[in-house]
Structure 1
Amino acid sequence: MKKLTAISLFSGCGGFDFGASQAGVDFLWANDIDPVAGSAYRSIFPDVEFHVGDVREVRFFPRADILIGCYPCTGFSLAARRRWKEREERDLTAIKGNFLYLEFLRVLEQSNPKYFFVENVRGMVSAKEGWFFQQQLEGFKQSGYTVHHNLLHAPNYGLPQSRQRVFLVGVRNDIAQEFEYKFLPPTHGPTAPRPYATLRDAIGDMPLWPKGEFSEQCFHGHYLTRNRKRAWDQQSYTIVANADHVPLHPQGEPMSFVKKDTWQLNGDFNRRLSWRECARLQGLPDNISPSGTLSDCYRVVGNAVPPPFGKALLTPVINFESA
């Protein structure tokens, strides 16, 4: 069977794409505006053409079987919504920049792939009473796709991190007549074939003091407003993009509750997870090598879509295409 091909927008460091490649997809082209993310992507996919720049300035895209995009929601504001309603008839192009999902839609219509995949934060579904979400669904429907969506929990697919994300999956209508996409059932957990992965499974073999790879900023008041430490046999709290706010390493004593919005550090081992430990907990390969500062490394790793999501989402499509 010939492998399915894909192009990727808002690709970041390539987390989703790495998972999709594990499922059996070949990537032709990828894009992100962040050069540090680009350097990380190239360290994972040295043979994929990666374009660093604003997607709005790219006019032509390769044709592929699959389009993947994790566009941000920064343009989804109430003011932008008003501008859309007030000016849509006379000057739609002037406000396109406020809606990055429209760029995804533009590429979708130009490339006409069989399938598309979108990731975003769970708040996207309810933001502004669901208007943003419905706007996207309607756009995809008008472009000729049957769309499925679901909230996925990362530990259910082997990631030792309590992360949740919303995913949209589009199947071109001609293919949807014979293929009904269904999200892959959990592969890990109490009722699944394998147990949940733990912090020990992911980072238990890594050095306890990886000098130069973790943030040594003081634990400021906001950091101590909630528990930041999970035990070795648990899943990590969500890995974030801000170096100062990443969770604590599981070694040492747990934090203790003092009062509302106040937690206390205990013992003599309290450090933030290193950016490489964060990469492991995101499911990224060890050979990932972002350029830039320590904060840059944390940022591109924390912004990544964990590869186990990509693999789980592409597996039903690969199974259908290879049947």
Structure 2
Amino acid sequence: MSKEVFRLGELFCGPGGIACGAHNAVSDDGEKSIVHVWANDFDPDTCETYTKNICHGDGSSVYCSDVRELDIPSLGPIDAFAYGFPCNSFSNVGEHQGLENDKFGQLYTYGVEVLKYYQPKWFLAENVSGIRSAGDGSHFKIILDDLANAGYTLVTNMYKFEEYGVPQTRHRIIIVGIRNDLDAQGIKFKVPSPEPYKNCDISAGTALANIPADAPNNEIRKLQDKVRLRLSYIKPGQNIWQVENLPPELMIKTRTKISQIYRKLDPSKPSYTVTAAGGGGTFMYHWSDEQRELTNRERARIQTFPDDFEFIGKYSSVRKQIGMAVPPKGAEIIFRAILNTFAGIEYPSVEPSMS
């Protein structure tokens, strides 16, 4: 089998979670790999982070602009494509707006345009699990039909990343498409089995251990005394609603009892989902007696970014970038399966959870 390097283009690239996983992936015979060609995102800090870590500081191939203003035909030929189109319309946190009357819901179509124009050999698309129920399921079907009609055979699966060695309960829909002519030749992607990862230690305690003293983005944010006192009543693994005899002055008022409000990690279990935004009580909290929220580096650890991956921007911007990213380790596993598919190498697989 001859060597083959797939040239990867990305829309909505984020800080580089997908790209990091792609660059670490290689087929089991060492013959198939992936290289960055171009990427696009709207947020300047995100683009700077991607440029620094994925492109070694050379931002000439990173297009920081609104995708609606992007000149897609000028980007350059690619063999592979990846995009995590914005999930604002499909997340279970908040209202489902979906495709109708929402400026974010239609952004997936720019990925379809890339597929039609460049006809890469394969693609990977990612979104939140809530996309399945948007518009009573009809919106997701429209998206799948549009991707398939661009000329691709789809394999759609909801990946529970904690089953693949990621120390976090993070569930995401991943769509892998193989170009129809290649699928007809027998190049058929299969969902990689989580079985090889069943004995991985994915506890938060292990994930957050031994962070180097000089690791970037590791500053501890100062909390108000009242918040620290409130946290002192919360045990590891608990949230504020599970505390008995909480003094009235420390109680909070909210219309919905979200489980992640003032919730501490349990060091013996995987972390709960790292989120990109949220108000008071949603910052994720350490189990130690320090009574503090996680640092951004600790959030990045849970997302499986390497310690030398430096995020650019102020604290809230970095938190957002980390929370919106695809875990590099999870992406790497899926990309390796794609590369093995093209190399003709069998690997442990399971039936897709969605069809």
Fold shared per TM-score above 0.5 = yes
Alignment partner, residue 53 of structure 2 = 44
Equivalent pair of 1:147/1:170 in contact (CA under 8 Å): yes
Match of 2:338 in 1: 317
Distance in 1 (CA, whole Å) between partners of 2:189 and 2:218 is 46
CA gap 1:187/1:278 in 2 versus in 1, 3 angstroms = farther
Q: Which moved more, 1:42-51 or 1:12-21?
A: 42-51
Stretch deviating more after TM superposition (95-104 or 230-239): 95-104
Residue 65 of structure 1 corresponds to 79
Cross-structure match for 1:157: 164
Distance 1:309 1:31 in 2: 21
Match of 2:273 in 1: 238
Q: Following superposition of structure 1 onto structure 2, how do residues 149-228 of structure 1 map, counting pairs within 5 Å?
A: 149-177=156-184, 178-187=186-195, 192=198, 194-206=199-211, 212-214=219-221, 216=223, 218=227, 221=252, 226=259, 228=263
Q: Is the 8 A contact 2:98 2:139 kept in 1?
A: no
Q: Post-superposition shift, 1:299?
A: 0.8
5+ residue gaps, structure 2: 26-32, 91-95, 231-250, 345-355
Going from structure 1 to structure 2, the CA distance change for 1:187 and 1:216 (only over 3 Å counts) comes to: farther
Displacement after TM superposition at 1:200 (Å): 2.3
Name the count of aligned residue pairs. Answer: 291
Structure 1 CA distance, aligned partners of 2:221 and 2:82?
A: 31
Contact 2:14/2:324 (<8 A) preserved: yes
Partner SS state of residue 160, structure 1: coil
With 283-292 and 23-32 compared, the bigger mean Cα shift is at 283-292
Q: How does 1:21-36 map to 2 (within 5 A)?
A: 21-23=23-25, 24-36=33-45
Distance in 2 between the 1:157 and 1:19 partners? 13
- 2:17 aligned partner: 15
- Structure 1 gaps, min length 5: 84-94, 253-268
1:247 to 272, 284, 288: 284
Deviations 1:103-150 (A, max 9, x none): 111111111101111110101011111111101111112111111111
Output the CA distance in 2 between the equivalents of 1:176 and 1:288: 36
Displaced runs of 4+ in structure 1, greater than 6 A?
A: none
The residue aligned with 1:122 is: 129
**Aligned-residue identity in percent:** 29
Structure 2 residue identity aligned to 1:10? F
> What TM-score, normalized to structure 1?
0.82
Q: 277, 284, 288: which is aligned to 2:298? A: 277
Amino acid at match of 1:43: K
Structure 2 vs 1, CA of residues 78 and 321 (structure 1 numbering), >3 Å: closer, same or farther?
closer
| Structure 1 residue matching 2:68: 3-state secondary structure | helix
Whether the 8 Å CA contact 2:218–2:296 is kept in 1: the answer is no
Change (3 A) 1:46 1:79: closer
Tell me how far apart the structure 2 counterparts of residues 118 and 160 of structure 1 sit (CA, whole Å). Answer: 22
Task: Please say which of residues 36-45 and 222-231 is displaced more in the overlay.
Answer: 222-231
Q: Distance in 2 between matches of 1:31 and 1:50?
A: 6
Measured against aligned partners, the alpha-carbon deviations of 1:74-124 in whole angstroms (never above 9, x if no partner) come to 46776953x7xxxxxxxxxxx997500111111111111011111101010
Secondary structure, aligned partner of 1:3 = strand
* Aligned AA (1:113): P
Distance 2:104 2:294 in 1: 36
